């Protein structure tokens, strides 16, 4: 999608602090981190969210990459959380499939208010 922020990052049209990249996915630091480690993993091809007919092989690769990112960021043994938000009620702010890898501190049971 030509106007998608994450597509522009994946195409290197917008700078990001890239943690990992291959032919299918990219991982980069969140610009508004909620925890000491807050990295996003995205597919380079645009999908709105996890329910947008994403091929199973790509979903597996995204989650495998998230585990690699946890190792790169040093939270693989201490613990981390993987989060994906879907739609307005799920608080998805960028409409491009992405997985948050968060950690680096003891995380709360809930990730924020349900207002």
The SS3 call for residue 8 is helix
The SS3 call for residue 112 is coil
Based on the residue annotation, tell me whether 61 is a catalytic residue of this protein.
no
Are the C-beta atoms of 19 and 67 separated by less than 8 Å?
A: no
The SS3 call for residue 30 is coil
What CA–CA distance (Å, rounded) separates 84 from 104?
A: 18
Six-digit token pair at 110?
A: 């809930």
Name the residue with tokens 């924020």. 112
Catalytic residue, candidates 38, 96, 98, 100:
98
Catalytic machinery residues? 98
């Amino acid at each position: 999608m030509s106007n998608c922020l994450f597509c522009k990052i994946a195409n290197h049209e917008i700078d990001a602090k890239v943690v990992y990249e291959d032919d299918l996915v990219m991982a980069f630091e969140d610009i508004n981190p909620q925890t000491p480690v807050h990295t996003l993993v995205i597919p380079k091809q645009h999908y709105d969210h996890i329910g947008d007919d994403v091929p199973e092989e790509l979903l597996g690769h995204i989650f495998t990459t998230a585990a690699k990112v946890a190792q790169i960021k040093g939270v693989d043994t201490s613990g981390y959380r993987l989060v994906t938000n879907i739609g307005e009620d799920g608080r998805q702010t960028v409409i491009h499939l992405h997985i948050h890898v968060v950690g680096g501190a003891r995380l709360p049971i809930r990730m924020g208010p349900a207002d």
